[in-house]
Structure 1
Amino acid sequence: MTGFFKQLMIFSLPLVLLTAVSGCKPKKPAFTSPAGYDLNNPEKFNMPESLLEISGIAFYKDKSDTVYSIQDEDGRLFRQSWMNKKQKHAVFGSKGDYEDLAILNETIIVLESDGTLYVFPFAEAVQEEISDIKIYKDLLPKGEYESIYANNQTNQVYLLCKNCKGDKKDKAMSGSIFTYNTAKKELIPSGDFSMDLSEMIEKEEILKTGLKASALTRDPHSGEWYILSSVNKVLVVATPDWKVKSVHRLNSSVFNQPEGLAFDNQMNLYISNEGDELSAGNILKFKHK
């Protein structure tokens, strides 16, 4: 063997070994899931054309036999049995930009993107047109909203701001809490909160502009918050005091435009997706393991 080939072997061997070792390292999965769920294997329920732009979803007393939902443009509350495309609806408003809803015991609250809240009795959901309705226009700080959650035990309502003044600068996401007075049928301001996004931004898990929450719900057992972001294509799990616990990137081939989020009484997780020219709107069910 000539001196040239000896030198070539000396320099090449470490490179070959390094390549072999690095090739043996286990690859991290691209799309992770919260404990107890597999976000890559859903049961899919395709929506009818009337719910192509499905946004918020909710269950009455966490019973998943009937899904209540809204879509972006029309002021209609939809209801349908699981895996049955046939839907009925009740009109509660005119054309608008409706983003989410919550069912608080016997009361339904619909959220419009400018922060306007439509509040009416659950019993009205079976009517063709809802008449007993109260509209709150200036209850929330000025901004853009897409996320609402109602706690049946405390009668409290939580709202996350998608785009509010100061949030981007502070690398935070702000939110408001209200208590619903059943006797007076009033929403009473009960405080606010903030969620630190700086670590997620530094890790490039979300955009510099923030989380841009599109839906919110809460694990009824652990009290952990589940926050969905369609813009960032992530599902964030946070502690009860709004500290980030885990961030899960969502597969765009599974989640077209995730906009709605809910748990049922069996701890199954549901995420709704708006459709487009190529695909129908849908609700994805993730069974609890």
Structure 2
Amino acid sequence: MKIYSASSLKSLCLAAILAGCGSTDKPKPHYTEYDLEKPDKFNMPESLFEISGIAFDNGKNDTVYAIQDEEGKLFRLAWDVKMQTHTKFGKKGDYEDVSIVNGAAIVLKSNGALYSFPTSEVNHEEPESVREYKKLFPKGEYEGMYGDEKTGNVYVICKNCPTDDAKSSVTGYIINLSDSTKTAETFSIDVKQIKAIHGKVDRGFRPSAIAKNPVNNNWYIVSAVNKLLVITDSKWKVKDAVSLSSNMFTQPEGIAFDSQGNMYISNEGDDLAEGNILKFVRTAK
């Protein structure tokens, strides 16, 4: 067995760190589609300190639709303008995501229930035509949802479902509210594919938000638990898994894209920071 002196060990450790063997909290340098270190930050008003889901209407980024996870209110803001308006669609509860689909606002509750009402009523103090959809999906905890304008399909992904093992696979469901009597279709994310790219996924993969990029039709899935951005193709095969810096992403809970493919990720606030939305301009061609 070779024995090293204290000075030799110190030199070896320094060399390992310089070579990139030390721990890091920065995004992997190979990821170039978006510069995850240089966002345009929009700090939220106090009413959205606990912002969760965000959405745009058909990719138009002049208005941000947002919810927070304690009150049944849908908020609307112009980019970088803290003044907000809202409509109260439901009682207090744990609301996690929002989508705008073919003239309707759809809100996801953590138990999998969906709430829908016309966007023509978002200017009302309370919308008059709220519909609640229950028992569309198995019992579990849900935080991520995406509504597809072209098909009307709504995609909901499990964060913590008894039927899943988050260390091996995560299940999602596809439903069209125009015919909610139909059984939801399913899709799944193979966590082993994430591990093959990223390495260990502590506590399993537990998605917080999901959205489709209109430029390349890939899926982008955020996990606040592991501070992770996972990218899959249209068939749910994992293409990349990128670390999100804890310094930049306090608690990523929402994701959306505008029509140009620019990416927006919302973060709940903490003791040191306000809630915010980070905008990342797409750099890939």
TM interval, shorter chain, is: 0.7 to 0.9
Q: After the TM superposition, which residues 122-141 of structure 1 pair with which residues of structure 2 at under 5 Å, given as runs?
A: 122-141=119-138
CA offsets 1:100-136 (integer angstroms, 9 cap, x no match): 0111121111000011110111111111101101101
CA offsets 1:121-156 (integer angstroms, 9 cap, x no match): 111111110110110121111100000011111111
Q: Find the counterpart in structure 1 of residue 173 from structure 2.
A: 176
Q: Output the CA distance in 1 between the equivalents of 2:107 and 2:124.
A: 16
Q: Output the CA distance in 2 between the equivalents of 1:187 and 1:166.
A: 22
Q: Output the CA distance in 2 between the equivalents of 1:123 and 1:55.
A: 23
Q: Are residues 219 and 84 of structure 1, via their aligned partners in 2, closer, same or farther at CA, if it must alter by over 3 Å?
A: same
Q: CA RMSD in A?
A: 2.5
CA offsets 1:264-284 (integer angstroms, 9 cap, x no match): 012110000000222110000
Q: TM-score, normalised by structure 1?
A: 0.87
Shift of 1:219: 1.3
Q: Are residues 205 and 237 of structure 1, via their aligned partners in 2, closer, same or farther at CA, if it must alter by over 3 Å?
A: farther
Q: Which runs of 5+ in 2 are unaligned?
A: none
Q: Are residues 192 and 24 of structure 1, via their aligned partners in 2, closer, same or farther at CA, if it must alter by over 3 Å?
A: closer
Q: Find the counterpart in structure 1 of residue 103 from structure 2.
A: 106
Q: Output the CA distance in 2 between the equivalents of 1:247 and 1:149.
A: 19
Q: Output the CA distance in 2 between the equivalents of 1:204 and 1:108.
A: 37
Equivalent residue for 1:206, pick from 191, 198, 201: 201
Q: Find the counterpart in structure 1 of residue 270 from structure 2.
A: 276
Q: Are residues 171 and 129 of structure 1, via their aligned partners in 2, closer, same or farther at CA, if it must alter by over 3 Å?
A: same
Equivalent residue for 2:252, pick from 234, 255, 258: 258
Q: Are residues 169 and 215 of structure 1, via their aligned partners in 2, closer, same or farther at CA, if it must alter by over 3 Å?
A: closer
Q: TM-score, normalised by structure 2?
A: 0.88
Q: Find the counterpart in structure 2 of residue 79 from structure 1.
A: 76
Equivalent residue for 1:288, pick from 262, 282, 285: 282
* Identity of matched residues, %: 46
1:70–1:77 CA contact under 8 A, matched in 2? yes
Equivalent residue for 1:148, pick from 140, 145, 150: 145
CA offsets 1:213-261 (integer angstroms, 9 cap, x no match): 0000011122111000001100001111111111110101100000010
The secondary structure found in structure 1 opposite 2:155 is strand
Q: Output the CA distance in 2 between the equivalents of 1:241 and 1:42.
A: 29
Q: Find the counterpart in structure 1 of residue 37 from structure 2.
A: 40
Q: Output the CA distance in 2 between the equivalents of 1:192 and 1:226.
A: 17
Shift of 1:24: 11
Q: Output the CA distance in 1 between the equivalents of 2:126 and 2:94.
A: 19
Q: Find the counterpart in structure 1 of residue 225 from structure 2.
A: 231
The secondary structure found in structure 2 opposite 1:147 is strand
Q: Output the CA distance in 2 between the equivalents of 1:231 and 1:77.
A: 25
Q: Output the CA distance in 2 between the equivalents of 1:135 and 1:93.
A: 10
The secondary structure found in structure 1 opposite 2:183 is strand
Shift of 1:187: 6.8
CA offsets 1:184-212 (integer angstroms, 9 cap, x no match): 7x5743411111112435764422x4211
Shift of 1:92: 0.3
Larger radius of gyration: 1
Q: Are residues 167 and 201 of structure 1, via their aligned partners in 2, closer, same or farther at CA, if it must alter by over 3 Å?
A: farther
Q: Output the CA distance in 2 between the equivalents of 1:169 and 1:103.
A: 28
Equivalent residue for 1:160, pick from 148, 157, 180: 157
2:52–2:66 CA contact under 8 A, matched in 1? yes
Which letter maps to 1:142? K
Q: Are residues 38 and 187 of structure 1, via their aligned partners in 2, closer, same or farther at CA, if it must alter by over 3 Å?
A: farther
Q: Output the CA distance in 2 between the equivalents of 1:263 and 1:205.
A: 28
